[in-house]
Amino acid sequence: MLKQVQGGVCAAKGFTANGVHCGIRKNKTKRDLALIYTKAPATAAAVYTQNLVKGAPLTVTKNNIANGMAHAVICNSGNANTCNANGIEIAEKTCELVAKALHISATDVVVASTGVIGQPLDITPIANGIPSLVDGLGAHSDLACEGIMTTDTKPKEIAFEFTVGEKTCRIGGIAKGSGMIHPNMATMLVFVTTDCKISSAMLQKALSEDVKTSFNMVSVDGDTSTNDMLSILANGEAGNEEITEDGEAFTAFCEALHAVTVDLCRKIAGDGEGATKLLECKVDGAKTEDAAKVVAKSVICSSLFKAAMFGADANWGRVLCAIGYSGADVDVNKVDVSFRSVKGEICVCKMGAGVPFSEEQAKDILLQSEIEVLISLNDGEGKATAWGCDLTYDYVKINGDYRT
């Protein structure tokens, strides 16, 4: 049974974290360097962006955790360290500096960066910031969370307690992501920690499977970032028998992991750049699960639909339009559509055609900060959920001068 707890990435036994301002960002009130650490060795796994343009830290991290082990995560914000001639050198040097300060191997460090693409990254502020970053390690998941934020307006962290055998385990995560959100493997930057004992192979299996129904179903603006990475460290300090194969224990772990990832998905989508509303599209009755995923994602990604939601306009035709061009095998003459929020639920389309409804009631429903788009395809057992946000004037404002 899952129980939400406090602590984020420090909820699990043996994990500490911190975040500081080291000088990468000009605004001294914003933290720009974060660290997560476990003294006990941890199994590690990660998934990465499929964008052909990749940040240098991803290459270094892949090499470092090829043996399935890690002790620490270091991440800077304000500069993506992408498309830099010396990017690999900077990422490797960052790992070396962290390793020296923590007395671990440089190859036991997950390194990540987020921010502007194509800007030179100076190692000096990172080198200067690491001593205070390490000295301040503690139960500071919130500070680490701040250290990885860019255009985010809200910190994103969550933790749960669960049971494996007779042992109580904990799992928690932090995330950053507000723009360039349209993952094809994982998302933005997400760091998860757990004290559950699980082999690196099973950890990777759990992570790779989870993203299919969590982060791969999130979209803010249709742009897949160059630095997307989701990594997880498991130090085994809960004392459970190591999970090395499928079974009841692995299922319990996967359920806990999914609780963390879905919560972070919702937080990321709801904090999309300029967004005023979280959109959750739930599709059922599809011929297959894959068809349901395609439909849900198509609706969430529709700029016209997102704009309609910003204006609280129950323009259900845009939902049907997105379903029609999604490429999924759908009988459009069987589609039902409803909108739901805390203000109630209203049916706007039945069997592919409009039905009479109150525009006033619909507007009241769509003015809320969280909107559910309910789509029944009435053609099978497949179902899926996708998350997104509305498209507002502020999205253009934020991205019109993001670099300068």
Q: What is the DSSP letter of 305?
A: H
C-alpha 315/C-alpha 305 separation (Å) is 8
Burial 232-258 (b: 16+ CB within 10 A, else e): bbbbbbbebeebeeeeebbebbbebbb
C-alpha 240/C-alpha 166 separation (Å) is 8
Q: Which residues contact 106 (CB under 8 A, 6 or more apart)?
A: 64, 92, 95, 96, 98, 99
Give the active site residue among 38, 49, 187, 261: 187
Residue recorded with tokens 């240098």: 56
Residue of 263, 257, 237, 267 whose CA lies nearest to 16: 237
Query: Could you tell me how far CA 301 lies from the centroid of its own chain?
Result: 17
Per this entry, what is the length of the chain? 404
Beta bridge partners of 157: 174
Collapsed DSSP state (helix, strand, coil) of residue 76: strand
DSSP H or E segment with residue 63: helix 56-64
Is 187 an annotated catalytic residue? yes
- 170: which 2 tokens? 């904990």
Collapsed DSSP state (helix, strand, coil) of residue 10: helix
Q: Which residues contact 14 (CB under 8 A, 6 or more apart)?
A: 38, 39, 40, 195, 235, 237
Active-site amino acid positions = 187
